[in-house]
Amino acid sequence: MIELHWPAGAPEDLRAAVHRVLRDVVADGGAVGYVEPPTRAQTDAWLADVLADVRRGDGALVLATVDGTVQAMGTWRRERPPVFRTSAEVAKVMAHPAARGLGLGRRVVSALVDHARRAGLELLTLGVRGNNHGTIQLYEELGFREWGRLPNRIVVGADRFDDVKMMLPLGHPPGVRLRGAEPGGPGSTPRRASAGPARS
């Protein structure tokens, strides 16, 4: 049986379960932000930071269990600057190597999107390693679109990979004015007049 859980605290069994998934995914070559399998101290610190956001209403952690064992997870975390408070980043989406092929990644991401929409977020973003084609395809199937990429930014030993940036708009509440790049409003500056061709 597959179930989803949204913890706000971290008892010992939860910390151990999260460490197991993170450690084993990275040991298997998973692209989740670590080059070497993280230590228990590293995953405990990461989990505490995520759950602090959860308790403030600035994030979510979803765990997928299979027959009672944590086998997949993912997060969304709100952007910190006030001008980006309606945006959040999806991160640390992964399934344990022993549980691949069960559709857990799709369940986790779909649940995060629904949760973020209910929380009033307007935009989700994420970054994915350029060679992670299966994950990129999954995100595209769930509505995410690439908005840019930083070539060869991700360092894994002597290898460099693209950092692919993706986004999913979640909609805007009534009364929001979508100004885009139109001139005027706070922070606006006019274009400078062209200086013309340089003289020799």
Residue-wise pLDDT for 101-146, tens only, equals 999 999 999 999 999 999 999 999 999 999 999 999 999 999 999 9
Of 18 and 191, more confident: 18
For 87, phi and psi rounded to 5 degrees?
A: -115, 150
Q: What is the gyration radius of the CA atoms in the chain, in angstroms?
A: 20
Please state, rounded to an integer, the average pLDDT across all residues of the chain.
95
Give the Cβ contact number of residue 3 at 10 Å: 11
Percentage of the chain with pLDDT > 90?
A: 86
Q: Domain 2-169: give its CATH architecture.
A: 3-Layer(aba) Sandwich (3.40)
Q: Tens digits of per-residue pLDDT, 14-38? A: 999 999 999 999 999 988 989 899 9
- Domain assignments of the chain as residue spans, ordered by start: 2-169
- Mean local confidence (pLDDT), 40-47: 97
C-alpha distance from residue 188 to each of 83, 179, 183, 191, 193 (Å): 15, 11, 6, 10, 16
